[in-house]
């Protein structure tokens, strides 16, 4: 019974995560494709799908990871590939997708090391003095966004450097700024769009 409930939760999270990431990727593609072409494509200045990474990992925990990884590969390989945005070989696509998927997890565990813990993630030692991240507080989510954007930008930069794909430091800045801006834009747009539905208190 418990395993059935776990499976149900996993499926709900996976579908939500996959759809959310695809949706944001397509929105991003729509806005970005006109001025960021495949040649010289070095990370976006407003990467809205990062919001899907941050929000799904924060709110659903590690259950969102497989769907997020699948969504990364699907979007980059199929959708991005169709518009000429994917210049990576499949092995590098797997590598960068893996790093992009786990960047929020790494950031959250790094933050846990600094004393900010998240209840939705396992492997923590909780004490009564633990400081918890409040998921209903947008400032905490923004803090996770900044940390994860830094981890994402750094890990992708190092991966590209090691694999001799790119050594342009501009890429780090564009990933870092792009992830933060993209997530902020998504969260605030959702708030603006949906607040009409939440008026009835």
- Enumerate binding residues for another protein (CB under 8 A): 2, 5-6, 8-9, 12-13, 16, 55, 59-61, 63, 120, 135-138, 141, 187-188, 190-192, 194-195, 198-201
3-state secondary structure of 150: helix
Give me the count of residues in the chain.
Answer: 201
Nearest residue (CB) to another protein, 88 versus 107: 107
Nearest residue (CB) to another protein, 38 versus 190: 190
Shortest spacing between CB 24 and another protein, in angstroms: 15
Nearest residue (CB) to another protein, 99 versus 111: 111
Checking 117-123 for CB contacts under 8 A at 24+ apart, the result is: 118/58, 120/58, 120/59, 120/60, 120/61, 121/61, 121/62, 122/61, 122/62
Shortest spacing between CB 18 and another protein, in angstroms: 14
Shortest spacing between CB 68 and another protein, in angstroms: 15
Shortest spacing between CB 86 and another protein, in angstroms: 30
Nearest residue (CB) to another protein, 142 versus 154: 142
- The 10 Å Cβ neighbour count of residue 139 is 7
Query: Two tokens at 40?
Result: 């010289």
Q: Find out whether 79 and 26 touch, Cβ atoms under 8 Å.
A: yes
């Amino acid at each position: 019974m418990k395993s059935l409930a776990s499976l149900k939760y996993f499926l709900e999270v996976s579908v939500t995560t996959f759809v959310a990431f695809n949706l944001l990727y397509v929105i991003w593609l729509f806005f970005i494709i006109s001025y960021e072409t495949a040649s010289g494509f070095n990370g976006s200045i407003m990467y809205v799908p990062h919001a899907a990474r941050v929000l799904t990992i924060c709110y659903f925990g590690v259950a969102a990871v497989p769907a997020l990884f699948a969504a990364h590969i699907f979007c980059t390989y199929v959708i991005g590939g169709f518009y000429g945005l994917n210049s990576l070989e499949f092995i590098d696509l797997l590598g960068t997708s893996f790093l992009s998927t786990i960047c929020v997890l790494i950031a959250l565990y790094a933050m846990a090391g600094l004393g900010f813990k998240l209840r939705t993630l396992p492997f923590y030692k909780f004490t009564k003095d633990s400081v918890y991240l409040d998921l209903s507080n947008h400032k905490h989510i923004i803090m996770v966004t900044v940390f994860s954007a830094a981890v994402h930008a750094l890990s992708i930069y190092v991966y590209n450097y090691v694999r001799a794909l790119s050594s342009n430091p501009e890429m780090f800045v564009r990933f870092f700024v792009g992830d933060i801006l993209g997530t902020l834009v998504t969260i605030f747009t959702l708030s603006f769009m949906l607040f009409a539905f939440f008026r009835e208190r």
